[in-house]
Amino acid sequence: MKKISVLFVCLGNICRSPAAEAIFINLLERKGLKDGFIVDSAGTGSWHIGKKADSRMRLAAERRDLNILSRARQITKEDFKEFNYIIAMDDSNFRNIQDLKSRTASTDFASIKKIQDFRSVFNEQEVPDPYFGGDEGFDYVLDILEDSVKGFLESIF
């Protein structure tokens, strides 16, 4: 059976998308589904390539028994062929992903979605970027993502 591949995308790949990746992996592990998936995250920007996730996000995630292990990378044209789903954290990154896809040949494979299309509890249309805010913003983003990522997984099955 072919694995389902999911790429979560935000701006710098150090806050929202690595958190979504960790939450999704955690859900898959709890449901015994991890072996059927390939999960990654990326940013539309290149500022943080190779860096660990923001320390404030890693700390907030650790308090929930989530490990954010990924290193930042930028989305590439190859990702459109490699992933079944590319999931944007907000409208701006969704547009950036669509723009990159439109400039890429043979991009019929990936389905591009917004994570908040799968929310059930929170009203936010976008996942806010906690980078320039206080520590409580990271917890709030995790709350939002736990809801939406769970809804996304449910939509697959």
> Which residues are designated catalytic?
10, 16, 129
- CB neighbours (10 Å) of residue 7? 25
Question: DSSP letters along 66-84, please?
Answer: -----B--B--TTHHHH-S
The number of C-alpha atoms within 13 Å of 133 and in the hemisphere containing its C-beta is: 12
Do residues 118 and 155 lie in contact, with contact meaning Cβ atoms separated by under 8 Å?
yes
CA-CA distances (angstroms) from residue 105 to 81, 82, 149? 10, 13, 29
Do residues 24 and 149 lie in contact, with contact meaning Cβ atoms separated by under 8 Å?
yes
- Amino acid (1-letter code) at residue 134: G
